[in-house]
Structure formats: structure tokens, C-alpha cells
Amino acid sequence: MAKRLLILEDGTIFEGKAFGADLDVTGEIVFNTGMTGYQESITDQSYNGQILTFTYPLVGNYGINRDDYESITPTCKGVVVSENARRANNWRNQMTLDEFLKAKNIPGISGIDTRALTKIIRKHGTMKATLANAGDTIEHLQDQLRATVLPTNNIEQVSTKTAYPAPGVGKNIVLVDFGLKHSILREFSKRKCNVTVVPYNISAEEILHLNPDGMMLSNGPGNPEDIPEVLDMIRGVQGKIPIFGICMGHQLFSLANGAKTYKMKFGHRGFNHAVREIATGRIDFTSQNHGYAVDRDTLPDCLMVTHEEINDKSVEGVRHRDFPAFSVQFHPDAAPGPHDASYLFDDFIELIDAFQAEKSKSLKSHSISKSCR
């Protein structure tokens, strides 16, 4: 098996075995602590432009199947594992991880100490890294790595270019695509919602013209401050229909209301992050994948914190005090991961019902008062 090198921005070099596609790539290196769910993680568009390290020692043992895609065309840059399973064994298995990465043109490296790599990332923070085949000189590869400027148009790369429907017979939901996971569509499908997926750069007027019952702001990659034009859209919609934001959607919703975000040292990426609901004290184990977070100290009076991470106390959820709108940093769609927080989709549907009932009541009282004059 051919050799492949993993070169970090801090000068560290790991030598391992090549698998997957045969090409050199550069991206931001991050780690995921999940024990399963590698297919969902690799196909999650929130990993756009990133080299994804799995801390669990054996990856690929149950292969790849048709059901666990979170997007059809994954855009993560590369995959790093300690051991790539030579044979996959599962009743749903259709191809090996190696075959899948070759088909999707994503290079991988195995046979390296992922625990040592994770400790470096935890100590120094996420950084640029290169996956390269042995052959070129180390000095040249390091020079190229230092000279590489990572793109900032991640959301533009992964968002849909045209609107498309996911038909249903229930509530009409506009889903703004910043890099959405298919599991969000699955959750709405379970609730029979009629979903219209729209590009990230849609205007508030265009959304309201669709006459939706509610708006979902999806997950997505990169820095939320890279798409300031979206904030005007959110401000133009909030108060007129209920809003639910997830991950990137949570950060953008908070920014639109005056909060600030910051880049975390190494982010939250895994499926066992404990989150406390402040009102009840309830603890949910959640699926998370984000490198930015909302700064608690900058939250405006109109936003109240509803959830927090129990380890680092970072903000995991907010709710608007005046409008029917809330958001969470974690993934209640949970693919992969625990389904503790999937009830939030039901809360969103109930919020829509309550908003429509209140709207109907005020219209009724207004028409009665007019007829009494």
C-alpha cells in the first residue's frame, strides 16, 4: 500500500498508508469523537473544506449504505483514521469506505496515531494541514501549506442554487440551505410538513411570498460572519412567521439580533455532548459539529439563553423574548447520534400552531370591533 503524509501547519508530520482517492489536498484539520456514524459525518456539508479525523480507532467496519447519506456529494477535504477496516460486514453494506472515498474523490490516510494528533489539535487549536503522497520534498509541501489561504465562501459552495420541494401535506416550511443535512428533511417528513428548500442568499420578500407557516435556518460550514447579507433576511422575516435555527442557523439568528460569535479553539464535533436545558435542568446528549459559537457576553436583551453545554458553559440555545423564534447550536436531527433532542421539531410545530391561533384571534377581535362601530 502506498505511503501518504499528513503535514500540520505547526510542522508535525505523520506518515501513514494511503486509501481513498489519489490526490493531494489542503484544509483545516478537525477531529470527531463519535464511535460510529462515519458515513453521516463525511457526507455532512458542515465539514466542507476540512480534513476530518476520527478518534475512534477502527473506522469502516460496517461499510457504506444507501440510507445514511447526509448529502449526495460530500465536500470534506480528507479523512484521517487510525485503522481502516479491510473488510466491511453489515446487512446494509454496499461498498467499503475505501471504495466510497475513491468514488467521491476524497483522499484518506490510515495507520497514524490519531490520539497523538487529537492532543496536538486540542493543545494548539485547529490548523491548516496537507494530505500528500510521498514523493515531493517535505520542504516544498510545507512551503505550499504555509502559502495556502483557505476559502471563506464555504456556504456558497454547498448551498443549493435553486429552490426545490420536499412535498408533504402538513405545515408549509421554508428551509434555508446553508449546507443542510438530509436528516432535517427526514424529521420534517415524519411530521408530514411540506418543505421548500431555498438558497442561502434568498431575500425576506421572496420567502414571505411563498406564504410559509415557518422558516428553518439549517446547519452549514465556516464562519457565520462571512455571509452578512443573510442577517437582513432574518430580520425581515422574524416576527412575521416562526423561526427555528440549527447550528449555523443558530449563529446567524443570534448575529441578526445583535450578538457576536467567536472561533473556538478546537470546536465541538461528536455525538455525546451533554447540554442542559436551563428552564428545567434536563440534560440531553446531543450531536454537535461546529467550530464557532455565540458569545454569551454579547447577547442582547431580546435573546434569552435556553441551553448551555455543561462542560465549557458555551451557549447552546437561545429564544427571542418578543418574537416566535428560537435556535439551538446542536443537531436535534441527530444523524448520527442520540435522539434526545428531536422533540424540538415538535416544539417548532407547536410554536407555529400557537402563533397562527394568536394571529387568528387578533384578526377576529379586530373584525368584531370594526363591525361594532
301 and 192, same structural domain? Answer: yes
Antiparallel, parallel or unpaired: β 58-59 and 83-84: parallel
Domain region containing 65: 3-150
| Pair 163, 305 in one domain | yes
pLDDT for res 73: 96
Our answer to whether residue 302 is catalytic in this structure is: no
Question: What is the per-residue pLDDT for 135?
Answer: 80
Check which CATH number belongs to the domain holding 114 and give it. 3.50.30.20
0.85 exceeded by pTM: yes
Cross-strand partners of 26? 130
CB atoms under 10 Å from CB of 322, counted, come to 11
Separation of alpha carbons 134 and 255, rounded Å = 44
Provide the pLDDT for residue 141.
Answer: 94
Q: Would residue 307 count as lying in a domain? A: yes
Is residue 98 in some structural domain? yes
Q: Assess whether 75 and 224 both reside in one domain.
A: no
Residues 291 and 198 in one domain: yes
Q: What is the CATH number of the domain that holds 275?
A: 3.40.50.880
Active site residue 247: yes
Q: What pLDDT does residue 363 have? A: 75
Q: What is the pLDDT of residues 180-226, one digit of tens each?
A: 999 999 999 999 999 999 999 999 999 999 999 999 999 999 999 99
Task: Tell me if 8 sits within 8 A of 131, measured CB to CB.
Answer: no
In a domain, 366, yes or no: no
Q: Is 14 inside a domain boundary?
A: yes
Per annotation, catalytic residue among 182, 307, 320, 331: 331
User: 269-292: per-residue pLDDT in tens?
Assistant: 999 999 999 999 999 999 999 999
- Split into its structural domains, the chain has a count of 2
Could you tell me if 210 and 353 lie in one domain? yes
Whether residue 336 is preceded by a cis peptide bond, meaning omega within 30 degrees of 0, is yes
Candidates 209, 246, 271; CA nearest to 348 is: 246
> For this structure, is 250 an active site residue?
no
**pLDDT (0 to 100) of residue 335:** 86
Q: Which of 135, 150, 165 is the last residue of a domain?
A: 150
Residue 179, domain member (yes or no): yes
Residue 180 inside a domain? The answer is yes
- In the predicted model, residues of the chain with pLDDT beneath 70 are 366-373
**Cα dist. 60→23, 38, 65, 240 in Å?**
20, 8, 11, 46
My answer on whether 198 and 127 are in the same domain is: no
Does 193 share its domain with 292?
yes
Of the residues 115, 150, 185, which one is the last residue of a structural domain? Answer: 150
Q: Which residue has 494511503 as its cell numbers?
A: 18
Whether residue 125 is found in the same domain as residue 217 = no
Establish if 373 belongs to a structural domain.
no
Co-location of 87 and 127 in the same domain:
yes
| Residue 118 and residue 39 in one domain | yes
117 and 186 together in one domain: no
368 domain-assigned: no
User: Catalytic one among 68, 247, 273, 290?
Assistant: 247
- Helix 229-237 and helix 248-256, axial crossing angle in degrees, nearest 10: 80
252 and 140 within one domain: no
Mark which of 150, 172, 197 sits at the end of a domain. Answer: 150
